[in-house]
Amino acid sequence: MTDLDERLSEPEFMDEEVQARAYAGADFTEPHERFIEQFKTAFPHADPRHALDLGCGPGDVTRRFARAFPNATVTGVDGAQAMLDAGREANEAQDLGERLHFVYGRLPGAKLPRDTYDTIISNSLLHHLEDPLVMWQCIRDYAEPGARIFVMDLLRPATRQQAQALVETYSGGEPDVLKRDFFHSLLAAYRPGEVRTQLRACGLGDFEVRTVSDRHLIVCGCAPATW
């Protein structure tokens, strides 16, 4: 038995201004570019037209996705207004025109511009949710038949010591607030077996779950023609 057999939850929303600005100013190039690369590997022929990013935060992945797929209009939704505000300057600086939209809203129940989407992505939202079925049910609600689903999230390590080592390896030079949050997020993250149980409970048991780094897992699959 390890000391992290059970996850330790953390707040669902990052509403602190200092927290949001630290995230908006941090360099997440490596993991966020990996997100795009892994999506392209999972869906090599993808040409998204209407994409939804759940839990978009300051919008870095949302913007990268829009740049990677020039035919896509991408909507990011987040339940922390401070996060959206922190990313506004970067959003305005991007030459993405009307292809990029951000919506404040908490799941479920956020008011989105479309009823369904052909692509749904999410990066690092799952571990914030005390009830992870909220996200999987939201995906069911907004995915059109055949929609591409791609979720990347943190992977809970075996011990606190391993979690601390990951923090020092990947964010040792970042502000203390980021290191604190990264540590707590690792403790709150789910493991592949737990995610598979969640997926089965929502009728998504055919989705693939796999570990892609020492701290990340991905979930991917296509929505069925009918639920």
Q: Which pLDDT tens digit goes with each residue over 24-63?
A: 566 677 889 999 999 999 999 999 999 999 999 989 999 9
223: pLDDT confidence band, cut at 50, 70 and 90? Answer: very high
pLDDT for 83 = 84
For 101, the enclosing helix (H) or strand (E) is: strand 100-104
Neighbours of 37 (CB within 10 A): 12
pLDDT for 12 = 58
Distance CA 147, CA 117 (A): 7
Give the predicted TM-score (pTM) of the model: 0.92
DSSP for residue 207: S
pLDDT for 23 = 61
∠ at Cα 206 (72, 144), nearest 5°? 35
Q: Looking at the domain covering 17-222, what would its CATH class be?
A: alpha beta
Distance CA 69, CA 170 (A): 28
